[in-house]
A = this chain, B = another copy of it.
Amino acid sequence: MPGFIGREQHTIDEKGRLMIPARFRRKFLLQGEQGGAPTPAREQVLYVLKADEGCLELYEPSAWGEKERQLLKLSDFNPEERLLTTMIYARLDQAELDRSGRIALSREMLEHAGIDREAVIIGANVKMIVWDPARLDRLLGENKGRFAQLAGRYV
């Protein structure tokens, strides 16, 4: 439902706080609303996942629930599936929005993404993807040539 779309760049302050763009916030603050005011929505939370590519993924609760449903299908007895479960939850964290719409990212998370003072937030419909600007540029640059090929194969 969220439908996060767009790319923004924000600074991360000394305290490791990352601003969630207002237009993204609006997407999930309206959850509890029915024609009324856009709820202040206390206790708003996001799920933060370290991704393989060296970036972070932010899920709004209902979107994470969707993903979690897939994980719950994994067997508790099959070693491989147990390992996958462990790997995912070991990379997962939870972050609350403060009253200004920011989340505090741990040093670990920031380190994983190689983020220093600036971060790019990409809306990817169901989730937000957070990158160090330089690292993202490098990825996109290195793979520019593959775009047509991949797009042709999948879309």
Residues of A within 8 A of B (CB): 5-7, 23, 47, 51-53, 67-68, 70-72, 74, 76, 79-90, 92-94, 108, 122-126, 129, 136, 139-140, 143, 146-148, 150-151, 154-155
Contacts and interface: CB of A to CB of B under 8 A. Distances in A.
A87 B143 contact: yes
B155 A92 contact: no
Contacts of A129: 86, 89
A60 to B, nearest CB: 14
B150 A89 contact: no
Given A6-B93, A83-B139, 17 more contacts: A6-B94, A23-B94, A52-B148, A53-B82, A53-B83, A68-B125, A74-B154, A83-B150, A84-B150, A84-B154, A86-B124, A86-B140, A87-B147, A89-B125, A89-B129, A90-B140, A94-B123
Identical subunits present: 2
Contacts of A125: 68, 71-72, 89
A52 B86 contact: no
Contact of A92 (B5, B92, B126, B146): B5
Contacts of A147: 52, 84, 87
